Amino acid sequence: MGLLTPDLGYFVWALIIFLVLLLVLRKFAWKPIIKSLNEREQNIEGAIAQAEKVKAEMAHLQNENEALLAKAREERSQLLKEAREAKDKIINEAKDQAKVEAGKIIADAQLAINAQKMAAITEVKNEVGKLVIDVSEKVLKHELSSQEKQEAQISALISGMKLN
Protein backbone atom coordinates (compact mmCIF):
# COMPACT_ATOMS: atom_id res chain seq x y z
CA MET A 1 0.00 0.00 0.00
CA GLY A 2 2.92 2.21 -0.08
CA LEU A 3 2.41 2.96 -3.69
CA LEU A 4 -1.09 4.17 -3.19
CA THR A 5 -0.20 6.59 -0.44
CA PRO A 6 3.04 8.27 -1.35
CA ASP A 7 5.29 9.79 1.19
CA LEU A 8 5.30 13.51 1.65
CA GLY A 9 9.01 13.64 0.74
CA TYR A 10 8.47 11.89 -2.55
CA PHE A 11 5.61 14.16 -3.27
CA VAL A 12 7.64 17.34 -2.60
CA TRP A 13 10.62 16.08 -4.61
CA ALA A 14 8.34 15.04 -7.47
CA LEU A 15 6.67 18.46 -7.33
CA ILE A 16 10.06 20.26 -7.34
CA ILE A 17 11.33 18.13 -10.22
CA PHE A 18 8.09 18.74 -12.11
CA LEU A 19 8.33 22.51 -11.59
CA VAL A 20 12.02 22.60 -12.58
CA LEU A 21 11.23 20.50 -15.62
CA LEU A 22 8.30 22.79 -16.40
CA LEU A 23 10.53 25.89 -16.13
CA VAL A 24 13.25 24.31 -18.29
CA LEU A 25 10.71 23.21 -20.87
CA ARG A 26 9.08 26.62 -20.77
CA LYS A 27 12.38 28.37 -21.33
CA PHE A 28 13.81 26.06 -23.97
CA ALA A 29 10.95 24.02 -25.48
CA TRP A 30 7.65 25.88 -25.21
CA LYS A 31 8.75 28.99 -27.06
CA PRO A 32 10.12 27.08 -30.11
CA ILE A 33 7.11 24.73 -30.10
CA ILE A 34 4.63 27.61 -29.87
CA LYS A 35 6.64 29.54 -32.46
CA SER A 36 6.54 26.50 -34.80
CA LEU A 37 2.82 26.08 -34.19
CA ASN A 38 2.20 29.78 -34.87
CA GLU A 39 4.27 29.61 -38.08
CA ARG A 40 2.42 26.50 -39.15
CA GLU A 41 -0.90 28.18 -38.40
CA GLN A 42 0.14 31.22 -40.45
CA ASN A 43 1.32 28.98 -43.30
CA ILE A 44 -2.00 27.12 -43.27
CA GLU A 45 -3.95 30.41 -43.22
CA GLY A 46 -1.78 31.72 -46.06
CA ALA A 47 -2.32 28.54 -48.06
CA ILE A 48 -6.09 28.76 -47.45
CA ALA A 49 -6.10 32.41 -48.49
CA GLN A 50 -4.03 31.57 -51.56
CA ALA A 51 -6.38 28.69 -52.39
CA GLU A 52 -9.39 31.02 -52.05
CA LYS A 53 -7.64 33.56 -54.27
CA VAL A 54 -6.84 30.89 -56.86
CA LYS A 55 -10.41 29.59 -56.62
CA ALA A 56 -11.81 33.08 -57.21
CA GLU A 57 -9.39 33.61 -60.10
CA MET A 58 -10.36 30.25 -61.62
CA ALA A 59 -14.05 31.16 -61.33
CA HIS A 60 -13.30 34.48 -63.02
CA LEU A 61 -11.33 32.75 -65.77
CA GLN A 62 -14.12 30.21 -66.21
CA ASN A 63 -16.64 33.04 -66.58
CA GLU A 64 -14.37 34.72 -69.14
CA ASN A 65 -13.99 31.42 -71.00
CA GLU A 66 -17.74 30.91 -71.06
CA ALA A 67 -18.21 34.48 -72.31
CA LEU A 68 -15.57 33.90 -75.01
CA LEU A 69 -17.21 30.61 -75.98
CA ALA A 70 -20.61 32.28 -76.20
CA LYS A 71 -19.11 35.07 -78.30
CA ALA A 72 -17.32 32.56 -80.54
CA ARG A 73 -20.55 30.59 -80.99
CA GLU A 74 -22.41 33.78 -81.85
CA GLU A 75 -19.72 34.80 -84.34
CA ARG A 76 -19.76 31.31 -85.85
CA SER A 77 -23.53 31.39 -86.30
CA GLN A 78 -23.28 34.90 -87.76
CA LEU A 79 -20.60 33.73 -90.20
CA LEU A 80 -22.70 30.70 -91.15
CA LYS A 81 -25.71 32.94 -91.67
CA GLU A 82 -23.70 35.32 -93.84
CA ALA A 83 -22.27 32.38 -95.80
CA ARG A 84 -25.78 31.00 -96.40
CA GLU A 85 -27.00 34.42 -97.49
CA ALA A 86 -24.01 34.83 -99.82
CA LYS A 87 -24.63 31.34 -101.24
CA ASP A 88 -28.31 32.11 -101.84
CA LYS A 89 -27.43 35.45 -103.40
CA ILE A 90 -24.86 33.86 -105.71
CA ILE A 91 -27.30 31.11 -106.69
CA ASN A 92 -30.07 33.62 -107.38
CA GLU A 93 -27.71 35.83 -109.39
CA ALA A 94 -26.55 32.79 -111.37
CA LYS A 95 -30.17 31.79 -112.02
CA ASP A 96 -31.06 35.31 -113.13
CA GLN A 97 -28.00 35.49 -115.34
CA ALA A 98 -28.81 32.07 -116.79
CA LYS A 99 -32.38 33.24 -117.53
CA VAL A 100 -31.05 36.37 -119.23
CA GLU A 101 -28.55 34.31 -121.23
CA ALA A 102 -31.24 31.78 -122.14
CA GLY A 103 -33.52 34.62 -123.24
CA LYS A 104 -30.74 36.07 -125.41
CA ILE A 105 -29.99 32.65 -126.90
CA ILE A 106 -33.70 32.04 -127.57
CA ALA A 107 -34.10 35.50 -129.12
CA ASP A 108 -31.00 34.99 -131.29
CA ALA A 109 -32.27 31.54 -132.29
CA GLN A 110 -35.69 32.97 -133.15
CA LEU A 111 -34.06 35.69 -135.23
CA ALA A 112 -31.92 33.10 -137.00
CA ILE A 113 -34.97 30.87 -137.53
CA ASN A 114 -36.97 33.82 -138.89
CA ALA A 115 -34.09 34.80 -141.17
CA GLN A 116 -33.78 31.24 -142.43
CA LYS A 117 -37.55 31.02 -142.76
CA MET A 118 -37.64 34.23 -144.77
CA ALA A 119 -34.74 33.03 -146.92
CA ALA A 120 -36.52 29.71 -147.48
CA ILE A 121 -39.81 31.49 -148.30
CA THR A 122 -37.99 33.80 -150.68
CA GLU A 123 -36.29 30.85 -152.30
CA VAL A 124 -39.61 28.98 -152.56
CA LYS A 125 -41.26 32.11 -154.02
CA ASN A 126 -38.44 32.42 -156.54
CA GLU A 127 -38.77 28.77 -157.48
CA VAL A 128 -42.58 29.08 -157.71
CA GLY A 129 -42.15 32.24 -159.78
CA LYS A 130 -39.78 30.44 -162.12
CA LEU A 131 -42.16 27.51 -162.35
CA VAL A 132 -45.12 29.85 -163.02
CA ILE A 133 -43.17 31.66 -165.67
CA ASP A 134 -42.12 28.39 -167.28
CA VAL A 135 -45.66 27.02 -167.15
CA SER A 136 -47.13 30.33 -168.32
CA GLU A 137 -44.64 30.51 -171.13
CA LYS A 138 -45.54 26.99 -172.25
CA VAL A 139 -49.26 27.68 -171.94
CA LEU A 140 -48.99 31.01 -173.75
CA LYS A 141 -46.90 29.51 -176.50
CA HIS A 142 -49.53 26.90 -176.99
CA GLU A 143 -52.55 29.25 -176.77
CA LEU A 144 -51.03 32.18 -178.55
CA SER A 145 -49.64 30.34 -181.46
CA SER A 146 -51.54 32.56 -183.87
CA GLN A 147 -51.71 36.36 -184.28
CA GLU A 148 -55.45 36.54 -183.69
CA LYS A 149 -55.28 34.68 -180.43
CA GLN A 150 -52.52 37.04 -179.20
CA GLU A 151 -54.56 40.17 -179.99
CA ALA A 152 -57.64 38.72 -178.26
CA GLN A 153 -55.61 37.90 -175.17
CA ILE A 154 -54.11 41.40 -175.03
CA SER A 155 -57.56 42.99 -175.39
CA ALA A 156 -58.92 40.84 -172.56
CA LEU A 157 -56.02 41.80 -170.32
CA ILE A 158 -56.41 45.50 -171.05
CA SER A 159 -60.13 45.49 -170.39
CA GLY A 160 -59.52 43.63 -167.11
CA MET A 161 -57.04 46.21 -165.83
CA LYS A 162 -58.24 49.14 -163.80
CA LEU A 163 -56.76 52.54 -164.33
CA ASN A 164 -55.89 54.54 -161.27
Pick out the chain residues at pLDDT < 50. 1, 164
Q: What is the pLDDT of residue 143?
A: 67
Q: What is the pLDDT of residue 42?
A: 96
Q: What is the pLDDT of residue 148?
A: 77
Confirm whether 12 is domain-assigned. Answer: yes
Give the total number of structural domains in the chain: 1
Instruction: Record the pTM.
Output: 0.41
Q: Which of 99, 158, 126 is nearest to 150 (CA)?
A: 158
Q: What is the pLDDT of residue 49?
A: 95
Confirm whether 32 is domain-assigned. Answer: yes
Q: What is the pLDDT of residue 38?
A: 94
Q: What is the pLDDT of residue 164?
A: 44
Confirm whether 67 is domain-assigned. Answer: yes
Confirm whether 3 is domain-assigned. Answer: no
Q: Which of 124, 1, 80 is nearest to 116 (CA)?
A: 124
Range of the domain at 146: 8-160
Confirm whether 78 is domain-assigned. Answer: yes
Confirm whether 1 is domain-assigned. Answer: no
CA distance 60 to 12: 66
Confirm whether 139 is domain-assigned. Answer: yes
